Structures are given as C-alpha cells and as structure tokens.
C-alpha cells in the first residue's frame, strides 16, 4: 500500500532509530508516544464507525474506540500520578501525521473501498505499534510503573491485530 | 443455654452436612480468562474480575451475559444448571473459556 505503509514505516524507523541514538526515548517522550498512538486509532475508529456500512467493521471500529480510550485513560492517570509531562517528539509527531493522513485518505473513500483501506491500515498500525512496544518503548522505559503499563497493554494490541487480520481476510473474499 | 445458643449449636451441627456454596474467581488479564477452564458445583458463585485496561464481558450464549465489565471491576453469577458452558468475551473474539458446572 502506498503512502500509509511508508508513513508507518517511517514512524517505526523513527521509533527504532531515534535521533537520540544511544538512549532511546525518555519517559516523558514515551508518554507522548503512547497517548498519541491511542488517540490516532480512536479518531480513525470514530470515523470508521460512522462511515462504514459493514456491521463487522463497525463493531471492530467501536471496539477500537472503547479499548484505546480505556488505555489512554489509564495511561493519562499514571503519568499524572508520576508527574511525567508528556513531551512531543519526532515519533509522536510522525504518528500524528500518519493518523491525519489516514483520516484524510479515508474521508475520500466509500463502501468496500473505505472498509478495505481502514482495515488494511489497522493491520499495519497495530503491527507497527507492537514492534515499537517491543523494540523501543519497553526497553527504553525507566519508570517501573510506566514499563508495566506498556507490558500490560501489549496483549490488547495483539488481540486487535488478530481481529483486524481476520476482518482483512473476510473482506478479501 | 438460651434459645439463640441452641440455634447456633444446631446450625453448627447441620452445616457440615449442607453443601456449602463456594466462590470461584476467574481473572480476566492479558486478554485471557485465567484459568481458562473452571469446574464448580451447581449453586457456586463465580466472580469474573477484570484486571485488564480495557472492558470485557463474560458471556455464555443463552445462559448468562455480564454485559460490559469495566477495567478494575468484577461481575458475579451463580450457575444452577449443571453442564458445560462456553464462555466468551463479546468484545474480543479470541477470548474463550470453559465453565463446567457439576
């Protein structure tokens, strides 16, 4: 897939090969990455839930809104408790840009084309975030509670990826 | 011994013979039901405790449905009819468990 994939790869590359080559993102940067990553998927889910004609895609989209809102609520509560102020950085900005581009593209589509583009992007997005969790965010997190949160949220991303892949193959038939 | 004392004694004697209903806890964590299979006696209470960051349900089609259990919340249910129940989370298709009621 055209620019969405390359945008995601760019996000991933930014996450894996940070400018701060030696230390990886700091806790305030990780907080911004987590909140942005969840928010862009909430935004895409809201758009998809109101645009799709497919019951399965709508259910999935609503689930993304519910689950990523739940994660963000607890992530925000934790960083508030820890007095960590989320600090925007190259990775969080790339995620936001990728999310904005995805929304702009989806808004031009309808019907089966919309469903396919949304679900394809969800598969790539969840895979990219999982890679970032494993390769960058968990290894870089310094605060134990922040690290725990990242570890705890991982299975939800795996379940979402499986669900998105299942939808993707169902739509392809 | 007063009347209440006699009653307490009678209860203490009778209780071991009555089937005491137990409470079993199933934890929902990491997008899984833990343990995945739970065996209980009819009349026992099962508590589903959601330790995940996202809401879940504990649902056995045609028998019981917790509706949404918020993160950090619990839901409990007493199953009176013996049998084998397939329990799923309606929100996350991959989440499956088995409840055996004897």
Interface test with B, best of A38, A74, A155 (most B CBs within 10 A): A155
The answer as to whether B81 is a domain residue is yes
According to DSSP, the residues that pair with A49 across neighbouring strands are: none
User: A71–B54: do the CB atoms touch at under 8 Å?
Assistant: yes
Residue B93's pLDDT is what? Answer: 87
Reported as a single tens digit per residue, the pLDDT across A35-44 is 999 999 999 9
- Does A6 have pLDDT greater than 80? no
- Is pLDDT above 60 for A20? no
ipTM of the complex: 0.79
> How much is the pLDDT for B72?
95
Give chain A positions within 8 Å (CB) of B94: 159, 162-163
User: Does residue B1 belong to any structural domain of this protein?
Assistant: no
CB contact under 8 A, B31 and A159: yes
Q: Residue B44 domain-assigned? A: yes
> DSSP of A146-166, one letter per residue?
HHHHHHHHHHHHHHHHHHHHH
| Residues in B 23-62 with any Cβ partner in A closer than 8 A | 30-32, 52-55
- Report whether pLDDT(A23) > 60: yes
pLDDT at A127 over 90: yes
DSSP string across B6-38: HHHHHHHHHGGGS-PPPEEEEEEETTEEESSEE
Rounded-to-integer distance, Cα A2 and Cα A84, Å: 37
Give the residue extent of every domain in chain A.
Answer: 3-16+26-171
Would you say residue B32 lies in a domain?
Answer: yes
- Check CB contact under 8 Å for B93 and A163: yes
Average pLDDT over residues B22-44: 96
Q: Give the tens place of pLDDT for each residue, B48-71.
A: 999 999 999 999 999 999 999 999
Assigned token pair, A145: 């509670």
For residue B3, being part of any structural domain is answered with no
β-bridge pairing B45-50 and B74-78 = antiparallel
Please report whether residue B65 resides in a domain.
yes
Whole-number percent of chain B with pLDDT over 90: 78
**With bands split at pLDDT 50, 70 and 90, how would you rate the model's confidence at A1?**
very low
**Rounded Cα gap, residues B84 and B79, in angstroms:** 11
* Fold of domain A3-16+26-171: Ferritin (1.20.1260)
Our count of domains for chain B comes to: 1
Read off the CATH number of the domain in which B43 is found.
2.60.40.420
Contact A66 B94 (CB under 8 A): no
Q: Indicate whether B14 belongs to any domain.
A: no
Determine the structural domain holding residue B40 and report its residue range. 21-101
Between CA A115 and CA A121 the distance in angstroms is: 10
C-alpha A4/C-alpha A118 separation (Å) is: 11
pLDDT in tens, A30-89: 999 999 999 999 999 999 999 999 999 999 999 999 999 999 999 999 999 999 999 999
């Amino acid at each position: 897939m055209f620019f969405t994939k390359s945008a995601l790869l760019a996000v991933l590359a930014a996450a894996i090969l940070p400018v701060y080559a030696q230390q990886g993102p700091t806790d305030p940067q990780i907080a911004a990455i987590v909140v942005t990553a969840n928010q862009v998927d909430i935004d895409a889910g809201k758009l998809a839930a109101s645009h799709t004609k497919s019951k399965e895609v709508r259910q999935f989209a609503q689930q993304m809104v519910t689950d990523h809102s739940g994660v963000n609520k607890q992530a925000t509560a934790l960083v508030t408790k820890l007095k960590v102020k989320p600090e925007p950085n190259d990775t969080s900005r790339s995620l936001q840009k990728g999310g904005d581009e995805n929304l702009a593209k989806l808004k031009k589509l309808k019907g089966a084309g919309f469903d396919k583009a949304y679900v394809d992007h969800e598969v790539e997005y969840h895979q990219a975030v999982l890679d970032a969790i494993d390769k960058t965010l968990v290894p870089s997190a310094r605060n134990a509670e922040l690290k725990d949160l990242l570890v705890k949220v991982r299975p939800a991303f795996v379940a979402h990826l499986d669900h998105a892949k299942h939808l993707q193959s169902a739509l392809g038939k | 011994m007063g009347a209440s004392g006699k009653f307490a004694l009678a209860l203490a004697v009778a209780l071991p013979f009555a089937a005491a209903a137990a409470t079993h806890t199933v934890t929902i964590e990491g997008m899984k039901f833990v343990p995945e299979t739970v065996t209980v006696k009819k009349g026992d209470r099962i508590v589903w405790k959601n330790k995940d960051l996202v809401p879940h349900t504990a649902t056995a089609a045609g028998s019981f449905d917790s509706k949404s259990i918020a993160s950090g919340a619990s839901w409990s249910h007493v199953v009176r009819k013996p049998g084998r129940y397939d329990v799923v989370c309606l929100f996350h298709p991959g989440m499956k468990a088995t409840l055996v009621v004897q």
